[in-house]
Amino acid sequence: MHSAANHQKDLSSISVIVGMSGGVDSSVAAYLLKQQGYAVAGLFMKNWDEDDGTEYCTAVADLADAQATCDALNIPLHCANFAAEYWDNVFEHFLTEYRRLRTPNPDILCNREIKFRQFVDYAQTLGADFIATGHYVKRIDQPERVIIEKGIDANKDQTYFLQAVPKPQLEKCLFPLGDWLKSDVRKLATDLGLKNHRKKDSTGICFIGERRFADFLRTYITDQPGPITDPEGRILGTHRGLHYYTIGQRQGINIGGKAGRPESPWYVAAKHQRDNRLEVTQDERALHSGWLHAVDVNWLEDIALPLRCQAKVRYRQQDQHCRVERACNNRLLVHFDEPQRAVAEGQYIAFYDNEQLLGGGCIDLCPRPQTTTPFSEPTTYV
């Protein structure tokens, strides 16, 4: 693929294939690149087979929208089926993490394994110099390096989801929407008369669609009901299976008011695999963590540790100041200036230097205040 330095040359000789989802963001991204003079084509990726339940999959409608956009922009549309790769590299991991009672983030894995690996490789076979997506992310080209920064629309910035993508892959991608507000993207799509200008943003996990999450998981993981207890081990009710719950969850616990207890809500505090017990609390302080371990770390810059930076442990969270240092077994130890609420193992932490994305890693251990139950998790890790 061409280097970033080639951007200043005749863009008509540079081939860019845009990942076309059928949504408004990728449609406007393709339009902007064509207006800039690139040789643009689209690629629609099918990442999930509808055999699992056609009524929940929007792939057919999304493909029709992508084709309509490409027709309107007079650019070709290619199609590729990455369902097998998605199953092997994203969905199997998703199920494994839930069986381990963790909370995975398949969107981050999909970016790393599919959109910025399979897509890049496939685009190269088509002769592309770059790929492009509708992510709200800024690419800053500097001599001998590419920097990834937050998009200017704080409500849509998607750098968090790119933290696990290796830097060489990100260098092959253009992000036309980094300097755009979502409202302006929709306005432009409306002015262009694009069919999908009012299409709702996709939410949730693609392979689940509109069905209930619990119904989907039940297809692959057997329910194992067990007791719900307070931190002292007193039984309050019965859970459906520990994999349905995540730390900090308030809705769906279904234990209601209890005699002699405050009227304040209950939250999931811990999942104890040894005795299949869900621990809940009314004390939100029990949900806070001052530090965590991260593994499978991906740096986008040459980093010297220890490091003072900012981090997010979930999408759209405000940046949190922290100190990052090395720990044993290729882990990172992250100390937060302020304790963080409801950090879930299996999720991801992204690191920032103000606007710049530095990288990220998978949250592997998150201690919480000690409880009094026999099988409570330790608050220290050696």
* Per-residue buried b or exposed e for 110-148, using 16+ beta carbons within 10 Å of the residue's own CB: bbbbbbbbbbbebbeeeebbbbbbbbbbbbeeeeeebbb
What amino acid is encoded at 378 in this protein? Answer: P
Residues in the chain: 382
Chain position carrying tokens 């207006």: 35
Identified catalytic residue from 173, 206, 309, 366: 206
Per-residue tokens: 269: 């505090």
Which tokens belong to 53?
């339940």
To the query of whether residue 70 is one of the catalytic residues in this protein, the response is no
CA pseudo-torsion sign 81, 82, 88, 93: negative
In the chain, what's the furthest Cα-to-Cα distance?
A: 75
Is the bond leading into 306 cis (omega within 30 degrees of zero)? yes
Distance CA(36)–CA(73), nearest Å, equals 13
Cα–Cα distance for residue pair 250/265, rounded to 1 Å: 7
Long-range CB pairs of 137-141 (<8 Å, 24+ gap) are 137/162, 137/175, 137/177, 137/178, 138/175, 138/178, 138/179, 138/355, 139/170, 139/173, 139/174, 139/175, 139/178, 141/4, 141/5, 141/7
d(CA 173, CA 158): 14
d(CA 140, CA 143): 10
DSSP class of residue 10 equals -
CA distance 158 to 316: 9
Closest CA to 130 of 300, 299, 6: 6
- Catalytic residue (choose from 110, 173, 309, 362): 110
Q: Active-site residue 110, yes or no?
A: yes
Catalytic residues: 110, 206
